[in-house]
Amino acid sequence: MYRLSRNDKCWCGSGLKYKQCHEKSDERILMPLKRMGYPIPPRRLLLNKEQIQGIKESAKITVAILDTLEEMVKPGMTTQEIDDFVHKYTVDNGGIPAPLNYEGFPKSCCTSINDVIAHGIPSAKTKLKEGDIVNIDITTILNGYYSDASRMYCVGKVSDEAKQLVEVTKECMYAGIDAVKPYRPVSDIGNVIHDIADKYNYGVVRDLCGHGVGINFHDDPLVEHYRQKRPTMIMVPGMVFTIEPMINQGTWRGRTLADNWTFITQDGRLSAQWEHTVLVTEDGCEILTK
């Protein structure tokens, strides 16, 4: 990783000489951190401009679907109807819904209602009803590039406590996004999220995490949304990953149903989740699924 001659073209594909591009961050910032024992990302996790552009194009589909669903989600709608829309919109725009057939997942998106933490399977038998809160999670592949985002939707009028959970979870996601700073550890993200959840006595899910994304569906780094005892991988400009906290009204603990996907709260109370795909930049981060 560090044997490049200073006058060679930079490994990132910028076309600049290494000494005018990544040399400074590689040698003067990352090497000392590495010596101090911080895990630093392998170079394959640092994406080039072309790859980032590809993720942004993919994200246009993901975001358009999430936006359209804001108007579509109504009491009486089945989650299969949501899935049908997601599949058609994605394919009509040249994309592939990443969840479909992913490790045997049978549908094109995840629809997680009320006590479902994540990975709810759309079904013609499942009707949204007034007062439900539902997370719809969309991952699109376009020209090989993945973008992953999810939002909460309130079905008709929901209770104040459900609304509070939805809003606080969104606040958690944005606080996590604000904690993305180059050369800081990924663990900063979970630390700020956990502090907010604690104020409300909410549980922070530990079994599912954010993840590197872009050229694969799930890659390093692992992005824990809960408090860490020690710093984890250093964030470096060019890394792309998701921040997708799942916050529970009660216990953080969950369990998986017999379908091997649906992950629900152990105590039957509500769970909420919001997700964005972000790019680490020189001065913070850029949300790619805006």
Binding site for Co ion (CB under 5 A): 137, 148, 150, 242, 244, 275
According to the binding rule CB under 6 A, does residue 277 interact with ligand MF3? no
The option from ligand MF3, Co ion, none interacting with 174 (CB < 5 to 8 A, set by class) reads none
Q: Which is nearer to Co ion, 4 or 139 (CB)?
A: 139
**Candidate ranges 14-22, 100-108, 153-161, 281-289; the one touching ligand MF3 (CB under 6 A):** 100-108
Q: Which is nearer to Co ion, 38 or 217 (CB)?
A: 217
The option from Co ion, ligand MF3, none interacting with 115 (CB < 5 to 8 A, set by class) reads none
Closest among 107, 97, 163 to 132, alpha carbons compared = 163
Least Å distance, CB 133 to ligand MF3, is 17
Q: Which is nearer to ligand MF3, 106 or 131 (CB)?
A: 106
> Which one of residues 58, 62, 139, 265 is an interface residue with ligand MF3 (CB under 6 A)?
139
Residues 6+ apart with CB under 8 A from 89: 61, 64, 65, 68
According to the binding rule CB under 6 A, does residue 110 interact with ligand MF3? yes
> Which one of residues 132, 148, 188, 224 is an interface residue with ligand MF3 (CB under 6 A)?
148
Least Å distance, CB 83 to ligand MF3, is 11
Q: Which is nearer to ligand MF3, 242 or 289 (CB)?
A: 242
The option from Co ion, ligand MF3, none interacting with 102 (CB < 5 to 8 A, set by class) reads ligand MF3
